[in-house]
Amino acid sequence: MLHSCLFLLSFLLYHRIFLFILKRSFSIDKNQAQIFAPGFLKRDLVVEKNKVSEND
C-alpha cells in the first residue's frame, strides 16, 4: 500500500515537471495545459495571468 502511494506521488511530481518543461519549450496554449492537469497548473496560471496584466 505504501509503495503504491509513493509511486503515485512520484508519478504526479514527474507529470508536473514534464508539463512545466513542455510548457516552457513549446509555449503550450494555457487552456490546453489546463486540460492536462487542471489541479496542478491552475495556481501557476493565475500567477502568470497576474504577471501579464501587470506588464500591460
At 5-54, the pLDDT tens digits run 888 888 888 887 887 777 766 665 555 555 555 555 555 555 555 565 55
Q: Which residue is it, cell 502568470?
A: 48
Distance, in Å, from the CA atom of 21 to the CA atom of 37, rounded to the nearest integer, reads 14
* Number of domain units in the chain: 1
Q: Which residue is it, cell 495571468?
A: 49
* Residue 30 structural domain: 2-55
* The pTM of the whole model exceeds 0.85: no
